[in-house]
């Protein structure tokens, strides 16, 4: 059994969902859960030393393979994808959605493309998955989004053009690499001996694609408006999984292919990432719309992850992978919180909330745990992630860690203030029903994942460390 | 060779069918005949032969492109059935003109002699002039035919002028001998002048900037089926011929010639794209997008030795997407005085099938992965990079981004806008559904298995 099964499940599942008419939501959920089970099974196999990768020739000229990598790094992110996808699908069960079959088919198709991106180890195949992931989210955001059509069209098209433009430069880089290596296979690209000038340009081309996707300052301008206008499911997919494609690709593709350039440009990219951390935090303070608020807080968090990966230390990279998962869990849960409030109050403005805790104790308690997790309180998975990231950064330059550390302090400030404004205070005059079973289940699973990995991250460490060590040797 | 004769025979048969009153059967007969000829052509594959004292040269290049032309003609003839249903008495003229045009196309890629090349060019052009002006009572069709005729015959004149210069320099029409003389050097300067004139004439035919001014007006005014023909079959024929001519003539050209080509390629795709952004008429939009695609295909000329397969692939991908897109345009804009993008509003609700066909065709043209257009661009970029034309590739990339804007404008109109209130029920003939779906399916299949086309060279 290898990873193709997982991808086929998602792809065929997407088709089946499209043709299943009214029961589309249930079919999609079953497919999502099935892929999660398969993923767990694959990880167990991989841990026992079975090779779960896949390799076959696709085209002779040019020399392109269908190559899927079954190592721990890719699988850990596939785990994130397959865990979040069914939860995201489940979270939308109580939302009014038109044309359910198309909607859920697009969600599954996107999960397929994202899982493919995490698994592909042939540059060309990787690029195709990377681009394929963009099309479903474009339609999800455009057709099922909030606000008037004209208003969201502007934001979503900006998002699409930005990311598409960035990735085309990556394509040029890949074509150039192919001319050199005669193959797109990851290992062949690793083995290239590029001059430092070549590496420099390759690094920049990749950086454009990833910096826009993640986003890193100053390529972030599409983010907040897209998150705001997209439907909650779309926002969850974007922030929870899709932006991890960029972070993952830095570790998998950009740094090992152009290690020397990564060392030379380290200061620049880390400083850009850290600007994003501070900038995101400050802008978040000023936001009145809860979705925009989470978008900017997310900008700050991913900035720190990017800085950690570019530190080129094992701790930094390991922290980055931890934090990718942790951030994925928390941000999806937080956007779901925003959706839950919206379902009851029909508002996304923080000022119009407040005094919810007395009416919905369960909800407020879960939200509090999530707030603490987002802040990185010890005991949550995010703490482990942020700690490793900062530790990795401090090995490069202690000031990076100090500036990065401000994100925790600022984060604590704005997150707790937001919690206070929205949940505490005098009992709200409008009634607020506590969580339904589905809402409770989704938030519960995410909180359990965060707390469990916060206390016992060893399985994940065992999974990702070998591949990261391999990449580190490649960099050296 | 058999191909050419068989097509000619079929065209005459169609004319005879008119006389003995078999109008109804013309289209089925033509389709079956063309399928047979397609089989015949593919059967010739791998054959290297010359006929009639080197007048016709059959090789892999000509066979591959001939097969593509025949496939495109089959699509066009299938569409004709319903398109000309109000003009049944003239159907044999229309169909035989298309077949004669195909003959011209076949001779243009299989010529072995400059005279044969010019003959093919004229057969193709004259058929096109007639088809462009074929809607006699419509003033715009008249305008289109007239414009195309005046400018097109001027371009033919330039080509002929070039041929005369080359003859003056080499004293032969035979391309094999011209090739040898040009390589050995020592031929008079006006050989190069002749080459430039021929290339300019051909650049006019593919509507490359700055010889593109005729295209949007002619495309817009001509009956939509003729526009389809011009933007798919005629464009692919012209670019293939240009490639073949460059292969023979331009090897001894100075460095500046390639620089000029790179410049023309860049400016063609850029101008085409930027003008396309501003169009609200779908036919003009596709005309300008066709201009930018011509710019992409000119990229093949900077690396002549290696780009045969990539050019063929790109041409196939582009032509199939074009056929599919125009099929939808014909159905949606039928009976309208102008073909506006607004008429596509809410097409997804009126006919999900047509909307899907149109979207995939446009996505393929825009170069979104898994559709053939993406691989086409990819192969062209990679062969240009191989020769080190990185500026050209970067402009290609930027233009791919620009093109997304206007392709998505149409896709958005189909999926997100409301249907106009007075829109009538869409009549979609079965033949249109078949052509649209088959063209898209082939596009996707060659997208998934590019080796299928690439490995034949």
Could you give the ipTM of this predicted complex? 0.72
Residues of B contacting chain A (CB within 8 angstroms): 309, 363, 368-370, 378-379, 381-382, 385-386, 393-394, 397, 400-401, 404-405, 408, 412, 415-416, 449-451, 454-455
**Percentage of chain A lying above the pLDDT 90 cut:** 15
Phi and psi of A82, rounded to 5°?
Answer: -75, -20
The per-residue pLDDT for range A260-310, each reduced to its tens digit, is 888 888 889 999 999 988 888 888 888 888 888 888 888 888 899 999 999
Please say if the pLDDT value at position A5 is more than 90: no
CA-based nearest distance B78→chain A, Å: 31
CB contact under 8 A, B415 and A139: yes
CB contact under 8 A, A164 and B408: no
Tell me the CA distances in angstroms from A216 to A156, A289, A414, B368, one per residue in order. 18, 22, 21, 25
Three-class SS of residue B111?
Answer: strand
* C-alpha to C-alpha distance for A351 and A326, rounded to whole angstroms: 28
Pick the range with the lowest mean pLDDT from A210-219, B98-107, B161-170. Answer: A210-219
- Return all residues near B170 (Cβ < 8 A) that are at least 6 apart: B177, B178, B181, B182, B187, B191
- B457 to chain A: closest CA residue: A61
The residue ranges of DSSP E strands in A126-266, in sequence order, are none
The per-residue pLDDT for range A380-434, each reduced to its tens digit, is 898 999 889 999 999 988 888 888 888 788 888 888 888 888 888 777 777 778 8
CA-based nearest distance B269→chain A, Å: 17
Count Cβ neighbours within 10 Å for each residue of B354-378 and write b for 16 or more, e otherwise: bbbbbbbbbbbbbbbbbbbbbbbbb
Please say if the pLDDT value at position A107 is more than 80: yes
* C-alpha to C-alpha distance for A153 and A147, rounded to whole angstroms: 10
CB contact under 8 A, B451 and A61: yes
CA-based nearest distance B452→chain A, Å: 9
In the stretch 40-99 of chain A, residues with CB closer than 8 A to chain B read: 58-62
Please say if the pLDDT value at position B136 is more than 80: yes
> How many DSSP H helices and E strands does chain A contain?
22, 2
Average pLDDT over residues B110-114: 91
Contacts of A57 in chain B (CB under 8 A): none
Of A135, A161, A176, the CB nearest to B368: A135
- Per-residue confidence (pLDDT) for residue B296, from 0 to 100: 92
Average pLDDT over residues A40-55: 86
CB contact under 8 A, B454 and A61: yes
Yes or no: say if B148 and B160 are a contact pair by the CB < 8 Å rule.
Answer: no
CA-based nearest distance B397→chain A, Å: 6
Contacts of B381 in chain A (CB under 8 A): 171-172, 175
Provide the CB-side half-sphere exposure for A392 (13 A, CA).
Answer: 27
β-strand pairing of A64-68 with A54-59: antiparallel
Count Cβ neighbours within 10 Å for each residue of B205-231 and write b for 16 or more, e otherwise: bbbbbebbebbbbbbbbbbbbbbbbbb
Yes or no: say if A258 and A202 are a contact pair by the CB < 8 Å rule.
Answer: yes
Please say if the pLDDT value at position B441 is more than 90: yes
Q: Does A157 touch chain B (CB under 8 A)?
A: yes
Of A132, A139, A153, the CB nearest to B370: A132
Q: Does A361 touch chain B (CB under 8 A)?
A: no
Question: Domains of chain A: which residue ranges?
Answer: 1-258, 265-476
CA-based nearest distance B449→chain A, Å: 7
Please say if the pLDDT value at position B75 is more than 90: yes
Yes or no: say if A262 and A475 are a contact pair by the CB < 8 Å rule.
Answer: yes
Three-class SS of residue B421?
Answer: coil
Q: Which H or E run includes A58?
A: strand A54-59
pTM, to two decimals: 0.83
CB contact under 8 A, B381 and A175: yes
CB contact under 8 A, B415 and A179: no
Neighbours of A154 (CB within 10 A): 11
Yes or no: say if B208 and B295 are a contact pair by the CB < 8 Å rule.
Answer: yes
CA dihedral B267, B228, B241, B291 (to 10 degrees): 0
Q: How confident is the model at residue A187 (pLDDT cuts 50, 70, 90)?
A: confident
Please say if the pLDDT value at position B240 is more than 90: yes
Contacts of B452 in chain A (CB under 8 A): none
Q: Does A409 touch chain B (CB under 8 A)?
A: no
Q: How confident is the model at residue B362 (pLDDT cuts 50, 70, 90)?
A: very high
CB contact under 8 A, B412 and A59: no
CB contact under 8 A, B369 and A168: no
Q: Does A271 touch chain B (CB under 8 A)?
A: no
Please say if the pLDDT value at position B241 is more than 90: yes
Q: Does A171 touch chain B (CB under 8 A)?
A: yes
Q: How confident is the model at residue A196 (pLDDT cuts 50, 70, 90)?
A: confident
Pick the range with the lowest mean pLDDT from A316-330, A340-354, A460-474, B67-81. Answer: A340-354
């Amino acid at each position: 059994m290898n990873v193709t099964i997982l991808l086929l499940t998602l792809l065929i599942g997407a088709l089946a969902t499209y043709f299943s008419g009214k029961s589309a939501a249930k079919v999609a959920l079953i497919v999502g859960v099935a892929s999660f089970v398969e993923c767990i099974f694959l990880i167990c196999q991989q841990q026992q030393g079975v090779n779960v990768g896949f390799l076959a020739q696709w085209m002779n000229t040019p020399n392109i393979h269908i190559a899927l990598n079954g190592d721990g790094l890719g699988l850990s992110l596939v785990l994130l994808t397959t865990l979040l996808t069914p939860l995201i699908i489940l979270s939308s069960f109580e939302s009014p959605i038109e044309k359910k079959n198309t909607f859920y088919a697009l969600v599954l198709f996107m999960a397929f493309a994202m899982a493919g991106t995490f698994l592909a180890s042939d540059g060309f195949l990787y690029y195709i998955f990377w681009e394929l992931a963009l099309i479903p989210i474009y339609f999800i955001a455009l057709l099922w989004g909030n606000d008037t059509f004209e208003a969201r069209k502007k934001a979503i098209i900006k998002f699409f053009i930005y990311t598409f433009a960035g990735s085309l430069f990556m394509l040029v880089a890949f074509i150039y690499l192919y001319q050199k290596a005669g193959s797109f296979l990851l290992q062949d690209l690793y083995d290239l001996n590029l001059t430092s000038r070549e590496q420099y340009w390759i690094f920049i081309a990749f950086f454009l694609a990833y910096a826009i996707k993640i986003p890193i300052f100053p390529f972030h301008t599409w983010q907040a408006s897209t998150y705001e206008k997209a439907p909650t499911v779309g926002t969850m997919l974007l922030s929870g999984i899709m932006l991890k494609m960029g972070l993952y690709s830095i570790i998998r593709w950009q740094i090992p292919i152009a290690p020397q350039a990564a060392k030379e440009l380290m200061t620049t990219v880390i400083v850009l990432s850290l600007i994003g951390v501070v900038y995101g935090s400050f802008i978040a303070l000023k936001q009145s719309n809860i979705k925009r608020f989470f978008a900017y807080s997310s900008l700050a968090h991913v900035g720190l992850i990017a800085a950690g990966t570019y530190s080129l230390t094992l701790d930094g990279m390991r922290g980055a992978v931890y934090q990718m998962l942790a951030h994925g869990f928390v941000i999806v849960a937080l956007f779901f919180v925003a959706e839950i409030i919206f379902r009851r109050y029909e508002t996304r403005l923080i000022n119009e909330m407040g005094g919810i805790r007395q009416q919905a104790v369960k909800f407020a308690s879960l939200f509090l745990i999530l707030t603490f997790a987002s802040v990185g309180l010890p005991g949550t998975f995010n703490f482990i992630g942020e700690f490793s990231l900062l530790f990795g950064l401090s090995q490069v330059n202690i000031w990076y860690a100090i500036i990065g550390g401000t994100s925790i302090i600022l984060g604590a400030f704005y997150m707790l203030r937001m919690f206070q404004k929205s949940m505490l205070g005098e009992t709200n005059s409008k009634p607020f029903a506590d969580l339904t079973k589905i809402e409770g289940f989704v938030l519960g699973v995410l909180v359990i994942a965060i707390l469990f990995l916060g206390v016992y991250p060893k399985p994940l460490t065992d999974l990702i460390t070998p591949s990261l060590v391999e990449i580190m040797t490649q960099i050296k | 060779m058999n191909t050419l004769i068989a097509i000619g025979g079929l065209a005459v048969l169609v004319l005879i069918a008119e006389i003995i009153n078999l109008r109804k059967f013309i289209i089925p007969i033509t389709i079956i005949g063309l399928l047979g000829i397609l089989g015949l052509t593919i059967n010739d594959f791998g054959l290297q032969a010359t006929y009639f004292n080197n007048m016709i040269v059959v090789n892999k290049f000509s066979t591959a492109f001939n097969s593509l032309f025949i496939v495109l003609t089959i699509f066009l003839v299938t569409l004709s059935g319903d398109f000309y249903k109000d003009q049944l008495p003239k159907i044999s003229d229309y169909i035989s003109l298309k077949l004669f045009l195909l003959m011209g196309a076949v001779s243009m890629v299989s010529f072995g002699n400059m005279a044969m090349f010019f003959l093919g060019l004229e057969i193709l052009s004259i058929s096109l002039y007639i088809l462009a002006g074929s809607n006699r009572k419509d003033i715009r069709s008249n305008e289109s035919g007239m414009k195309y005729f005046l400018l097109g015959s001027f371009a033919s004149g330039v080509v002929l002028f070039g041929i005369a210069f080359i003859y003056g320099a080499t004293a032969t029409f035979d391309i094999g001998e011209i090739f040898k003389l040009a390589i050995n050097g020592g031929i008079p300067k006006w050989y190069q002048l002749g080459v430039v004139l021929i290339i300019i004439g051909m650049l006019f035919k593919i509507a490359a900037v700055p010889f593109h001014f005729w295209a949007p007006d002619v495309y817009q005014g001509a009956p939509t089926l003729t526009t389809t023909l011009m933007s798919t079959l005629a464009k692919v024929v012209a670019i293939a011929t240009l490639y073949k001519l460059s292969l023979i003539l331009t090897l001894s050209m100075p460095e500046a010639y390639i620089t000029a080509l790179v410049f023309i390629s860049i400016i063609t795709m850029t101008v085409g794209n930027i003008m396309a952004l501003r169009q609200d008429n779908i036919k003009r939009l596709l005309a300008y997008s066709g201009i930018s695609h011509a710019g992409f295909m000119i990229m093949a000329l900077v690396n002549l030795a290696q780009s045969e397969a990539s050019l063929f692939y790109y041409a196939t991908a582009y032509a199939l997407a074009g056929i599919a897109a125009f099929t939808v345009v014909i159905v949606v804009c039928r009976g309208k005085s102008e073909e506006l993008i607004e008429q596509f509003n809410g097409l997804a609700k009126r006919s999900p099938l047509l909307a899907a066909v149109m979207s995939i065709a446009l996505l393929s043209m825009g170069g979104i992965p898994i559709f053939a257009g993406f691989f086409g661009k990819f192969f062209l970029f990679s062969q240009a990079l191989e020769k080190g034309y990185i500026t050209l590739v970067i402009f290609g990339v930027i233009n791919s981004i620009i093109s997304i804007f206007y392709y998505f404008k149409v896709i958005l109109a189909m999926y997100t806008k409301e249907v106009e209130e007075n829109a009538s029920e869409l009549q979609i003939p079965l033949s249109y559904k078949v052509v649209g779906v088959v063209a898209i399916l082939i596009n996707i299949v060659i997208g998934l298995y590019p080796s299928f086309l690439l490995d034949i060279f």
